[in-house]
Amino acid sequence: MKIIMLGAPGAGKGTQAKMIADKYDIPHISTGDIFRANIKEGTPLGMEAKQYMDKGLLVPDELTVKILLDRVAKKDCQNGYVLDGFPRTIPQAEVLDKALGERGDRIDHAIDVDVPDENIVKRMGGRRACLSCGATYHIEHVPPKQEGICDVCGQKLVLRDDDKPETVQNRLNVYHEQTQPLIDFYRNKGILKTVDGTKDKEEVFETIEAVLKA
């Protein structure tokens, strides 16, 4: 069961990817994690990626796919895996497809966690963080006991720049421009399933389970 998770930043695809991984005992793979692991271990692929990252450059698609293929060839991926955060663009998807095809392999499901922009802006705008101890809250869903004050250490809570409406909308615009075309790409391959990400996370997961069992 090889799955790609799609969805805008803040749609909750990472949460769903972890839930799928736990339920089906398959690895949850994010490119950020495997880059860091390869660099930490000093692998040849990791050192090659580090040269780009140290210069503030994007790691080329071919190298990213090589690192990804190296990861999915490991024993814990025998029964499948969940890809989170890759591919982000059509060229990346095409390189991945070609590389998997050369191994006689393919992606089974592309799951799009669909949430309207306005919901995401509201959802992320409600986040509050404690810069002192790192605890996080949400003014509606996980409020602190005392408004604006961290339950853990008593310091003031802040709205991080990343969560401000204008920043979130900019990230969403980039997503629609670069990543949204992937939805059509996987729809044309007949493996796309769209789920309503505005529901409670347990409900969203139940819908995904039904998709995977179908």
pLDDT of residue 204: 96
Pick the CATH number of 2-116+166-213 from 3.40.50.300, 1.10.1040.10, 1.10.260.40, 2.60.120.10: 3.40.50.300
DSSP β-ladder status, 2-6 and 81-84:
parallel
pLDDT of residue 194: 96
For range 36-52, the mean pLDDT:
93
Token representation of residue 175: 């997503």
Spatial CA neighbour of 195 closest among 16, 2, 3: 16
Catalytic residue status for 213: no
pLDDT of residue 31: 83
Query: How is the chain split into domains, by residue range?
Result: 2-116+166-213
Residue 163 near residue 125, CB atoms below 8 Å: yes
User: Which residue in 2, 13, 123, 128 is the catalytic one?
Assistant: 13
Report the distance separating Cα 214 and Cα 199, nearest Å.
21
Catalytic residue status for 88: yes
pLDDT of residue 152: 96
- State pLDDT tens for residues 80-126: 999 998 898 898 899 999 989 998 999 999 999 999 999 999 999 99
Catalytic residue status for 187: no
Report the distance separating Cα 71 and Cα 29, nearest Å.
8
- State pLDDT tens for residues 131-186: 999 999 999 989 999 999 999 999 999 999 989 999 999 989 988 988 889 999 99
pLDDT surpassing 90 at residue 32: no
User: Which residue in 2, 66, 71, 88 is the catalytic one?
Assistant: 88
User: Which residue in 123, 127, 128, 193 is the catalytic one?
Assistant: 127
Catalytic residue status for 13: yes
Catalytic residue status for 106: no
- Mean of the per-residue pLDDT values for the chain? 93
pLDDT surpassing 90 at residue 214: no
Count the neighbouring beta carbons within 10 Å of the beta carbon of residue 178: 13
Per residue, what are the HEC states of the chain?
Answer: CEEEEECCCCCCHHHHHHHHHHHHCCCEEEHHHHHHHHHHHCCHHHHHHHHHHHCCCCCCHHHHHHHHHHHHCCHHHCCCEEEECCCCCHHHHHHHHHHHHHCCCCCCEEEEEECCHHHHHHHHHCEEEECCCCCEEECCCECCCECCECCCCCCEEECCHHHCHHHHHHHHHHHHHHCCHHHHHHHHCCCEEEEECCCCHHHHHHHHHHHHHC
